[in-house]
Amino acid sequence: MSTGMSLFVTAGTLLSLLFFFLLLHFNRKVENPGETTGHDYDGIMEYDNPLPSWWYWGFVLTIVFGLGYLAYYPGLGNFEGLGQWSQVSQFEGDRQRAEEKYGPLFSQYRAMTLDELGATPAAVKMGRRLFINNCSVCHGATATGSFGFPNLTDEEWLWGREDEDIVATISAGRTGAMIAWGDILGSEGVVDVADYVQHLAGREVPEASAARGETTFITYCTACHGADGKGQKVFGAPDLTNEIWLYGNSAGRIQHVIRNGRAGQMPAFAGKLGEDKIHILAAYIKHLGSSSLPVP
């Protein structure tokens, strides 16, 4: 926060504690001890007596404790505290202790191949827990994905399904991008290319527009999707000849993608999970949808 805001928070906090102490201290003194205040309710008389000493000093100790807490932990603006504590250091410390405790459980599988791990029930259970904790928010608990998030149980793998491809995807993340072609192609051009793309998938479309779309496709789209439309994993470009569509397979959806483009981002997990956990997670993901995968 800014220096001004830091000073405001610090002053406000300390002055509040001072105010509470003074309010407590001056209300300890009474004018007529042992006499009533004149207030009664249901036969109960209110006496003008001071706070009991244990009660008074109990309140004072809470204020002293608050000052000690604010001195040790960050609570006064930009002051970091004498203990140098922070949420980040707490998290890193907890993670390091967890790694020291549980790391050997993951490292014991490091020498096994992904196929061997996929046939090992204990490793599969670990992989499933890793998947649920880190991947299910996007791909779903069953890994079938949703609109804009790939289904990991089918045969469509934009970046490849080889062991090294899966590990690389989890470790470094992926960035998929398709530029918007609406301004370049125009409305009719977008419709023509969409018809040709549907033709590649085996659908019946107007022959004239599909023919025009083919010419445009060869000019603008083959660099990523290939001349045959089957895509290229080096770009993460999808195969357009099947019926697996990440953003919907209706004519309107296809036209929308061509017109406006797409941008997808998968975060990198190398820094969060480490090599051993990624190795087990990759094995679980590789064998998703396979009948040979043991049920956790």
Domain ranges for the chain: 3-72, 89-173+267-286, 176-266
Fold identical between 89-173+267-286 and 176-266?
Answer: yes
| Spans in the chain with pLDDT lower than 70 | 30, 289-296
Q: Which amino acid is at 125?
A: K
For residue 246, the Cα-to-chain-centroid distance in whole angstroms is: 20
- Tens of pLDDT, residue by residue over 155-173, are 889 999 899 999 999 999 9
* Angle in degrees, 0-180, between the axes of helices 207-220 and 182-200, rounded to the nearest 10: 120
Fold topology of 176-266: Cytochrome Bc1 Complex; Chain D, domain 2 (1.10.760)
Listed in sequence order, the residues at least 6 apart from 56 whose beta carbon sits closer than 8 Å to its beta carbon are 24, 28, 50
Q: Which amino acid is at 214?
A: E
The position carrying tokens 């001349």 is: 227
**Which of 266, 190, 196 lies closest to 225, judged by CA?**
196
CA 166, 168, 173 angle in degrees (round to 5)? 100
57 to 5, 34, 41, 52, 54: CA distances (angstroms): 33, 21, 29, 9, 5
How high is the pLDDT of residue 291?
Answer: 47
How high is the pLDDT of residue 47?
Answer: 79
How high is the pLDDT of residue 290?
Answer: 66
Tell me the pTM.
0.71
Listed in sequence order, the residues at least 6 apart from 289 whose beta carbon sits closer than 8 Å to its beta carbon are 143, 152, 153, 154
Q: Which helix (H) or strand (E) holds 266?
A: strand 262-266
Dist. CA 232–CA 239, nearest whole Å:
8
How high is the pLDDT of residue 12?
Answer: 93
Q: What is the largest distance, in Å, between two alpha-carbon atoms of the chain?
A: 105
CB 122 within 8 A of CB 111: no
- Classify 122 in phi/psi space as left (phi over 0), alpha (psi -120 to 50) or beta: alpha
125 to 77, 109, 129, 285: CA distances (angstroms): 45, 13, 6, 12
Fold topology of 89-173+267-286: Cytochrome Bc1 Complex; Chain D, domain 2 (1.10.760)
CB 136 within 8 A of CB 248: no
How high is the pLDDT of residue 105?
Answer: 87
How high is the pLDDT of residue 214?
Answer: 95
Phi first, then psi: what are they for 264, rounded to 5°?
-120, 145
294 to 46, 123, 144: CA distances (angstroms): 74, 10, 18
Listed in sequence order, the residues at least 6 apart from 234 whose beta carbon sits closer than 8 Å to its beta carbon are none
What are 47's strand-pairing partners? Answer: 36
- Tens of pLDDT, residue by residue over 7-34, are 999 999 999 999 999 988 887 776 777 7
How high is the pLDDT of residue 50?
Answer: 78
Q: Which helix (H) or strand (E) holds 223?
A: helix 222-225
Q: Which amino acid is at 172?
A: A
